[in-house]
Chains A and B, each alone.
Chain A
C-alpha cells in the first residue's frame, strides 16, 4: 500500500488557511448537529486522514450531481476536500477511458479491498442491459462488481437514491435505485436533483472523522440534513401562518414574497437542508427566487401530481370511477327500496 499524503498536507499545499479550515470544520459540526467541542476532533481527524479511495460510478444520470460539486464559481473548500480524496475512478472527470479506466477501477478495488467508498450517481436500468453500458459493461454488472469490496455506498442524487427521473412514469428502462439492488452494504442516500454540495462533503467528512455512517432516516438519508422540512425552516413560513399566499407568479403576493403554498410548493413534505444551507455558497435557495419547492429530494417527485399542484390535494380517481360509484349507490338505493316495498306488500297481504 503506497503512502498517500494526509488531507491536512494536501490542503496546506493548496494554500487553505488554518482559519478557513477550522471554519469549515465548525460548519460541518453544526450541520451534523454536533456540539462545538467536536470541532477540534473533526479538524484533527480530517488533517490526519489518509486520502480514502473513492470510486465514483455514473449510470443513467445527467451529470448534474457532478456539476453541483465541481462547477462552483470559485474553488470552494468543498471542492478542495473533494479534490483531496483519492478519486480513483470517475469516468466523467478522469482522463483515461475504456480499458485503461476499467483497469484503474480494478486496481483501486484490489488495493483498498474492504475499505474503499463507492459513490454512485444515476439509476440502474434493469429493462435491458444494453440501455446503458460503460466499456461494454452493463450498469448492473459494474455496480455489483464494484460494491462487492466496498466499505459503504453513497448514492448521490435522487436517481441513485430513488430512481429519479429515469425511474419516473412510465420508466421505459426499468430504472431502479442503488438500494433496490445492493442489500449487503451500508448505503447512504444523498438525494436531491442535484444534492447540495455541502451535504455531500459533510457526509464524507463524517465518514472520515468518525469512521462511521451518519444516522439515517427511513429513506436512508442522513438525519442531520434531511430531518426537517423545507416548510419548517422556510423564511416565508410566517406568511403561511397568516394565510398570505401568492395566487399566481405575477400577482402582488408573489412580489411581496408571500407563501408559495398555493402555487404548489412541496416544502411541507420535502426533507432537505436547502432553507438552511442554501445554494451557491449560501446565496439563496429556489423559494427565495420566487419558485415553489419541487420536492426533488423526495422519492418519485417527478410523479407527484404536478409541480404547481398544492400538497393537500388528493387523488380522487377518475370521473368515470366516481360516476360508477354514484351509479352503484343509485342502484343499491332503488333496489333496497324495492325490496322494502315488497316486504310491506307481503305484510299487508298476510294481515
Chain B
C-alpha cells in the first residue's frame, strides 16, 4: 500500500469516523446536560425564533463596536470566506463532494482558487501575528489556539504546494494534502475548531434566553 492509498483509504476513513464520533459526543454531551425550564413571564417569543434570529444577527457587528473590532473582523471574515471558497469551489474538491454526496455545483478556475488560497494563508499569518503581539490575545491564548491555527492552515498550504510541486511526485503531495485534512478532521471536534458547529449552539442559546426577555441581543 503506497502513501496515497494509505491517505485515501484507512487514514481518511479513520479521520471521518473520529470527526463523526467526536462531534456528536461533544454536541450531545452539551445538549443533554440539564436544561432548566424558565418560568418567568416572557416579554415576547424567544425559543427557536430567538435562537435563529441571533444565529443570523450575530454574524454582523453592532455599529458601536465596529471601530474597535474592524481589523480582526475583516481578517477573520477573509479567512473564513477564503477557506470556504478553496474548500467548496476548487473543482477537484467539488468532484470529491459530488462523489460523496451526489450533488454538484460550478467551480472556480484553479488560478482563482490559488490566489484565494494565497490570500487565506496571508490573512492567517496576519491573525497569528496579532495573536502573538496583542496583549489581550497573548494573555488568553493557549496551545489549542496555536495548534488549531496550524492545523487549519496546513491543508491550505499543502494544497497550494501541489501545483508548484518542488520536484515532489504528485501523488506524494496529494497524500500529504489528504493527511493534513485528516489531521484537521481529527482535531476539529476536540478543539476550539468545534466552533464550526458550536457557534450555532451558543448563539442560539443566547437568542433563546435573551430574546424571550426582550433584552438586547
Contacts and interface: CB of A to CB of B under 8 A. Distances in A.
A74 interface: no
A340 B30 CA distance: 10
Interface string A246-272: 000000000000000110000011010
Given A242-B109, A310-B92, A337-B30, A317 B16 contact: yes
A-B complex: 6 closest residue pairs judged by Cβ atoms: A333-B28, A329-B24, A337-B32, A243-B109, A329-B21, A336-B29
Interface string B1-44: 01010011100110011001111111111111110000000000
A312 interface: yes
Contacts of B99: 309-310, 313
12 contacts: A229-B169, A261-B92, A268-B171, A310-B96, A312-B95, A313-B100, A329-B22, A332-B25, A334-B28, A336-B28, A337-B28, A340-B29
B170 interface: yes
B91 interface: yes
B91 A315 contact: no
Contacts of B21: 325-326, 328-329, 332
Contacts of A231: 170
B95 A326 contact: no
A329 B20 contact: yes
Contacts of A241: 109-111, 163
Contacts, number: 124
A262 B112 CA distance: 19
A56 interface: no
Contacts of A243: 91, 107-113
A312 B177 CA distance: 10
Contact of B96 (A240, A314, A336): A314
A30 to B, nearest CB: 20
Interface residues of B, number: 44
A243 B113 CA distance: 10
A316 interface: yes
A269 B13 contact: no
A320 interface: no
A241 B24 CA distance: 38
B178 interface: yes
A116 interface: no
A315 B13 contact: yes
B170 A312 contact: no
Interface of A: 229, 231-232, 240-245, 261-262, 268-269, 271, 299, 309-317, 321-322, 325-326, 328-330, 332-334, 336-338, 340-341, 344
Nearest to B12: A314
Given A313-B100, A315-B12, A317-B13, 14 more contacts: A242-B109, A242-B111, A243-B113, A268-B171, A269-B174, A315-B8, A315-B9, A322-B20, A325-B17, A328-B21, A333-B29, A337-B30, A338-B32, A340-B29
B43 to A, nearest CB: 30
B33 A314 contact: no
A261 B13 contact: no
B25 A269 contact: no
A248 to B, nearest CB: 11
B8 A310 contact: no
Interface string B178-217: 1000000000000000000000000000000000000000
A336 B8 CA distance: 32
A315 B109 CA distance: 26
B49 interface: no
Nearest to A310: B95
B93 interface: yes
Contacts of B95: 261-262, 310, 312-313
